[in-house]
Chains A and B, each alone.
Chain A
Amino acid sequence: MTTRFETEQKSGLLQRILTALPYVVLTISIVPIIIGFVWIIVATFSYRTQGILPINAQGKIGGLTLQNWTFLLDAKIWRVTFNSAMIALGMVVGVGFLSSLTGYALSRMNFRGRKTFLGMTLVLHAFRPELLLIAIFQVLLFIAGIPIAGKAFGFNTVGGVAIVMVSLELPLGIWLMKGFFDNISWDMERAALIDGASRFRVWWEIILPQIKPGIAALAIFNFISGWNAYLIPYTFTIGTKVSNLSVFLNQFSSDTSPMGWNQVAAVGLFQLIPILIFFIFTQEALLNIYGGGTKGGA
């Protein structure tokens, strides 16, 4: 009996080690990343750092400062931050709304030119924005000539930048959304139609909730790309009134060069905060995947 007990215990121990092993490996591998983050945060509040410890002029530990964050006192920074937020949210809403409607139509409805549209969408995505800059410029100039709309979406407006960014991101968004819709069973949609829902209501109440994780992923993706946008705002805006954060900070750092590492870290951290906040808000939807409504069957 004792021998059997021992072997059981041994295998129990082995079992425990095997369970713990992945956690140990993951913890060890994440440590450098965490150290990196801690270093950045510490650095933004110090003159200099040694390792992850802040040091003062005498080389002693200490010497914390808010000096790296003084760029926040500049009123212009808040203006461009607001612009960045508008571009980012514009992309989240614009791409999210348009591609979830278009993706649904492409996935569920049969209409003339559907195949061509799908093919063209893919081709469009292959064009790099750099190639299109001059054409986009012409379009923005044209829009600027239209009364009222020109003020909001023409050349050298935040709206114009947002529209261009949305258009460039739409092909991918549409393809992604179409893929998500393709995976939803037809029966569920038919059931809702028979239950008495209109097509639009089916889309909104039945189908969209199923693809929340996909929508959240697309939203984060668009938020990041809108928030960090550089090329388009840099090309199509003049001056800080309509500029965005990336462009402004880039100019800011070249104006005040040489810029210390610690200040770069502060700027970088500042730019990261909204993305983290946005992620926190969307992560529940992102990770919320239903266990499937049905057992077997198609």
Chain B
Amino acid sequence: MKVELTNLTKRWGDVVGAEGIDLSTKDGEFVAFLGPSGCGKTTTLLMIAGIYKPTVGEILFDDRVVNTVPPKDRNIGMVFQSYALYPHMTVFQNIGYPLKLQKVPKDELQKHVQRVADMMGIGHLMDRKPAQLSGGQQQRVALGRALIKEPQLLLFDEPLSNLDARLRLSMRSEIKRLQMDLGITSIYVTHDQIEAMTMADRVAVMKDGHLQAFAPPDELYDHPKTLFIAGFVGNPPMNFIEVEVKQENGSYQVLGPGIHLDLPADRGEKVARSSKVIMGIRPEDISLADTGVKGEVYLIEPLGRDDLLDVRIGETAVRVLADPALGVRMRDTVTLHFNTDTAQLFDPDTEQSLLW
């Protein structure tokens, strides 16, 4: 099923939950809503679910406006961060509840619940109450309950936030695989950019109730449209340095305190009009070299495969990924090479990208 949002807005008096969201998904697509806490992800999701009524705007399922359709008639499944299982019901009753409401005959319900529970790997826990399950098992019950109706749209509201890191990783791939197998259009809300980037076909980045971008993960990563997206997507986060761009007989240069770099012409051309810009450059695009910008190592965070160095160039701090084998120590003076081929450039006032 396709989902389309047009100018979708929710306000409570002066409080803005979501403002003017325009977005449309393809059938069977996995879409992630990504943004920091309080940016309106849940609000938008609950409007799609029919729990909140939009203040302005429309929600369309397969070109049909569903604004006034109650949640029970939208044929959706939803998984909550808190799982929202019914504590007085067993696993069997929890998963079977949507079918019970549809008055599905007993034996058919029994078979159906067993099949879904087996698929979720909790077929042996049918008689347990939610309180007798681990977090991961509860999550599977919640997922089973959302799937049993064979919904046309699956909604996830930060479903993995309460799981430990290991489990989160395995559930992440499991949900992704399940979604691909079933081909159900899914909207997945998260504040974790890694989750969004790894799972989704397209990511909707939200900030302060507004949709900042809606694009495939690699495009968000390579062509961030705003400063916010550039800073939010990618781990460790992108470095931002205030610089000036100068043009001298056909070649472009980036100048900052203690920094002097060449800028490829295709990028330099785009900033011709505004000379003061914010340059964004990812930690993996800065490397230790023999010649380049000099800085002092302020802090080293070993990440295992790499060391994350916090290097100070005068007043400016940049994060750099370095090979631990190089044996860099605190307070060492290092020389950095900036790969400006992938550098991002932003207007400091509008925070919009000057490149895309």
Interface residues of A (CB under 8 A from B): 185, 187-188, 190-198, 201, 206, 209-210, 290-298
Given contacts A187-B80, A297-B161, contact A194 B71 (CB under 8 A): yes
Which residues on the B side are within 8 Å of A294 (C-beta)? 82-85, 87, 130, 138
CA distance A194 to B155 in the complex (A): 10
Using known A-B contacts A190-B80, A298-B82, determine if residue A293 contacts B131 with beta carbons closer than 8 Å: yes
Listed in ascending order, the chain B residues whose CB lies under 8 Å from chain A are: 46, 49-51, 70-72, 74, 76-78, 80-88, 97-98, 101-102, 129-132, 134-135, 138, 145, 149, 161-162
State which of B74, B131, B161, B162 has its C-beta within 8 Å of the C-beta of A290. Answer: B131
The answer for the CA separation of A290 and B90 in the assembled complex, in Å, is 12
Taking the closest CB of chain A, its distance from the CB of B112, in whole angstroms, is 14
One of A193, A206, A291, A298 near B51 (C-beta < 8 A): A193
Given contacts A187-B84, A297-B161, contact A292 B131 (CB under 8 A): yes
Cα distance A196–B70 in the bound complex, in angstroms:
9
Q: Cα distance A201–B51 when bound, in Å?
A: 16
Total number of residue pairs linking A and B with CB closer than 8 Å: 100
- Chain A residues lying within 8 Å of B84, measured Cβ to Cβ, are 185, 187-188, 190-191, 293-294
The reply to whether A295 and B86 contact each other, CB–CB distance below 8 Å, is no
Q: Write the chain B residue with the least CB distance to A297.
A: B82
In whole angstroms, what is the CA distance A124 to B129 when docked? Answer: 41
Neighbouring A residues of B87 by C-beta, 8 Å: 210, 290-294
Interface-centre pick from A191, A192, A291 (highest chain B CB count, 10 A) = A191
23 intermolecular pairs with C-beta atoms under 8 Å apart? A185-B84, A190-B49, A191-B78, A191-B80, A191-B84, A193-B50, A193-B70, A194-B50, A194-B71, A194-B74, A194-B77, A195-B101, A195-B145, A195-B149, A196-B102, A198-B72, A209-B86, A290-B131, A291-B87, A293-B84, A294-B85, A294-B87, A297-B162
Whether B46 and A190, one on each chain, are in contact in the complex, defined by CB atoms closer than 8 angstroms, is yes
Asked if A195 contacts B51 (CB within 8 A), the reply is no
Chain A residues positioned under 8 Å from B80 (CB to CB): 187, 190-191
Q: Are B71 and A209 in contact (CB under 8 A)?
A: no
Within 8 Å CB of B71, what residues of A? 190, 193-194
Are A297 and B83 closer than 8 Å at their CB atoms? Answer: yes
Chain A to chain B: the 10 pairs with minimum beta-carbon distance, closest first: A293-B87, A291-B131, A187-B84, A297-B82, A196-B101, A191-B84, A196-B72, A195-B98, A293-B130, A209-B88
